[in-house]
Chain A
């Protein structure tokens, strides 16, 4: 199945810094989702986006659904140690099945 291109692959940042990661696909998506996964756990939904251009916030997290419908970004402001984890983008194609395709993940490390 399709896999989304997510970057960066990993990030090491100081506590308090802002973080930005993005995801691109080769096809048009009608839904973009951002998940966080911690070791030994399933992904937990952070933000869901349903319209092109949509900008949505969840606390210190902000995500946008790209105008082209082929990309999305996630920003985390003022990072804290508990932000550590792997962040995945996921999307559902405009046409076709109901399943999600996942990005390759961004491993975030926050240095206190």
Chain B
């Protein structure tokens, strides 16, 4: 089946630094990828839709300049958390759409900002 690789799985960074998270579709091309954020014991909240070759579409309330998304190829999308602060600490998960119906998720990235 479809596999989505997300890296890193865990990252600790200092406040004020930037962190990049990669999401790769390993055996299929994904024109669309999605980035979610999940707080402890809560559901997944869509942050943005990443479109290959065009600008990402952000959900209401998500800062575009804080969460930079790049989808430069059909197999790679990146999320960069810029000037991270402790309140950005969370579990970030990407998913890739294989076609009209397939949604496969990465294993997530636990970000801790100290």
Contacts and interface: CB of A to CB of B under 8 A. Distances in A.
Q: Are both chains from one complex?
A: yes
Interface of A: 1, 3, 31, 33, 35, 40-45, 48, 50, 88, 90, 97-105, 107
Q: Which 5 A-B pairs have the closest CB atoms?
A: A42-B105, A42-B108, A102-B44, A102-B43, A42-B107
Contacts of B75: none
**Interface majority SS (helix, strand, loop, mixed), chain B:** strand
A94 to B, nearest CB: 13
Range of interface residues on B (Cβ < 8 Å): 20 to 34
A55 B108 CA distance: 30
A107 B107 CA distance: 19
Contacts of B6: 42
A42 B93 contact: yes
